Amino acid sequence: MPPTTEPPDDQRAREVAEGLAEVRQRIRDACAAAGRDPGGVTLVGITKTFPSSDVALLVRLGLLDVGESRDQEARAKLAEVAVLLGGDAAERIRWHFVGRLQSRKARSVAAYAAAVHSLDRAALVPLLATARGSDRPPLEVFVQVSLDGDPSRGGALDRDVPSIADAVAEQMQLRLRGVMAVPPLDADADASFARLSEISTALQERHPGADAIPAGMTDDLEAAVRHGSTHLRIGSALLGRRPPVFG
């Protein structure tokens, strides 16, 4: 993207620019420590609970991968960001849907998302595929795994991952990218991401192209990079602490 903006000139813009610079530095340091190329890690800015103006700031700073966890909030921001940035700039944003996906929202999400990180049941697959249609690039899909087997927090049991992945791979409107997980509360991040990496390796035996591993948030970014994360979903370190929310 060409540099299209003046240096940030108000306080929030400075805060967001600093947050982004710090996160990018953390990613470079984590990659250096792990002997990895930072080019292999995509930063997804998680903007839930923050205003559309923050999304616009991130995009102006060059961060085009943006994640939201609730469909209604994402839709509202999509419209507002198009006004703030203009349609052409807004079109370049890649929206990642990272929250729990309900059947009645699948159609809506498939219309605007570039990627869904949180597919956790096969029943959603035909809904996403039909809604996506064939006249657009395939919707990228990650299967979310529950590492503690507690499905109440989202995620499929790991024994169900192969059948869900097979269902995605059969749909030409979808592209199976890999497996995602959020470490269980109080779980050790390294152990959790090591387990996710094993699940990814097993998946790749069936689906060799499904080699992406979105893992890592503000508090466990370094551990995720050590275990092969390809997409870091970072909210608070970029934009500040938010009030507790679900999803």
Ligand X SMILES: *Cc1c(COP(=O)(O)O)cnc(C)c1O
> 144 vs 173, which CB is nearer to ligand X?
144
Site for ligand X in 83-112 (CB under 6 A): 98-99
Scanning 50-58, 157-165, 188-196, 213-221 for contacts with ligand X by CB under 6 A, the matching segment is 213-221
Closest separation in Å from C-beta 244 to ligand X: 10
Tokens 């092969």 locate to 228
Q: Is 26 in the site for ligand X (CB under 6 A)?
A: no
Q: Is 217 in the site for ligand X (CB under 6 A)?
A: yes
Closest separation in Å from C-beta 216 to ligand X: 8
> 96 vs 226, which CB is nearer to ligand X?
96
In angstroms, how far is CA 181 from the centroid of its own chain?
A: 11
Tell me the per-residue interface mask from 64 to 83 with ligand X, x by CB under 6 A, - otherwise: -----x--------------
Q: What residue type is 132 in one-letter code?
A: R
Tell me which residue has its CB nearest to ligand X: 235
* Cα 197 to Cα 92, 115, 129, 186, 214, distances in angstroms: 30, 20, 27, 19, 10
Number of residues this chain uses to bind ligand X (CB under 6 A): 15
C-beta of residue 23 within 8 angstroms of C-beta of residue 212: no
Site for ligand X in 224-243 (CB under 6 A): 233-237
Nearest alpha carbon to residue 202 among 160, 153, 141: 160
Sorted by sequence, the CB contacts under 8 Å of residue 241 that are 6+ apart come out as none
Nearest alpha carbon to residue 173 among 120, 208, 119, 131: 131
Widest CA span of the chain, in angstroms? 51
Q: Is 182 in the site for ligand X (CB under 6 A)?
A: yes
Give the DSSP letter of residue 136.
S
Closest separation in Å from C-beta 98 to ligand X: 4
Token pair recorded at residue 33: 């420590």
Which of 46, 90, 101, 196 contacts ligand X by CB under 6 A?
46
Q: Measured on CA atoms in the order 200, 203, 204, 208, is the torsion positive or negative?
A: negative
> 227 vs 233, which CB is nearer to ligand X?
233
Nearest alpha carbon to residue 235 among 63, 1, 4, 114: 63
Which of 30, 31, 48, 59 contacts ligand X by CB under 6 A?
48
Q: Is 113 in the site for ligand X (CB under 6 A)?
A: no
> Over the Cα atoms of the chain, what is R_g?
17
> 53 vs 236, which CB is nearer to ligand X?
236
Residue numbers at the binding site for ligand X (CB under 6 A)? 46, 48, 69, 98-99, 182, 217-219, 233-237, 247
